[in-house]
Amino acid sequence: MSPLAAALAATHAWFEVNSGWAPPDVETMADWAVEGACRAPDDCWVSLRGTCPHGLVSWQVVLDDLVELDGGRSPGVRAG
């Protein structure tokens, strides 16, 4: 398992024991991406696809992974 995959697994474990988190909206994420930055789910500032000092990945990594799991379909695009 790559370090990033391990951190992603740690992040999903964190989701299970923490409540009250929500992904930032797309526009906010885009603003951060311009700076090459992102937040981790515990509010740490991290690089766009980095990990925070607590071992959590950035929201960008989490959301990228969800898109992959979804079969590569674009979020928000409905059939029909």
Angle subtended at Cα 15 by Cα 41 and Cα 19, rounded to the nearest 5 degrees: 85
Strands 45-47 and 37-39: antiparallel
54 lines the binding site for Zn ion (CB under 5 A): yes
Contact track, Zn ion, 3-42, x by CB under 5 A: -------------------------------------x-x
Residue closer to Zn ion, measured from CB, 7 or 40: 40
Angle subtended at Cα 23 by Cα 79 and Cα 71, rounded to the nearest 5 degrees: 35
Residues of this chain that interact with Zn ion (CB under 5 A) are 40, 42, 44, 52, 54
